[in-house]
Amino acid sequence: MAIALKFSPKIYLGESIREEKLEKIKKKLEKNPFFSGMFLITLSRNVSDQLEIYAAKQLVQSYYKKNPPYVIGITATYEEALVIIERIVQECLQTRGDCALKEYLLC
């Protein structure tokens, strides 16, 4: 099962993930997400939410093959994902003065 994931050019990594391993992790997520053991931070598809956290193994569902998420962060644990989201919110507040995370992350 291969999924053509969309990755942000500025991808946030959890502190337990080394940047030199990023390309290998991306390939692993696209080839077989069930065994990757990672968590993904993605832009939400609905208008009422901004970000979502997925266990990468959820990507084996057929929906994601046709509708790949836009990945802005990769972490090893759920707790790391929460820390990354907190960092994104702080950056957005400092840069824009608001919490329009989708707009901040897409520009």
Convert the pLDDT of each residue in 52-65 to its tens digit. Answer: 999 998 888 888 88
Domain holding 90, by residue range, is 6-106
Task: Report yes or no on 74 lying in a domain.
Answer: yes
Q: How many domains is the chain partitioned into structurally? A: 1
pLDDT > 90: percent of the chain: 44
Strand-pair partners of 54: 40
Task: Report yes or no on 60 lying in a domain.
Answer: yes
3-state class of 15 per DSSP? coil
pLDDT at 64: 86
Task: Report yes or no on 1 lying in a domain.
Answer: no
pLDDT at 1: 56
* Average pLDDT, rounded, for the chain: 89
Mean pLDDT of 83-89: 95
pLDDT at 59: 86
What pTM value is reported for the model?
A: 0.89
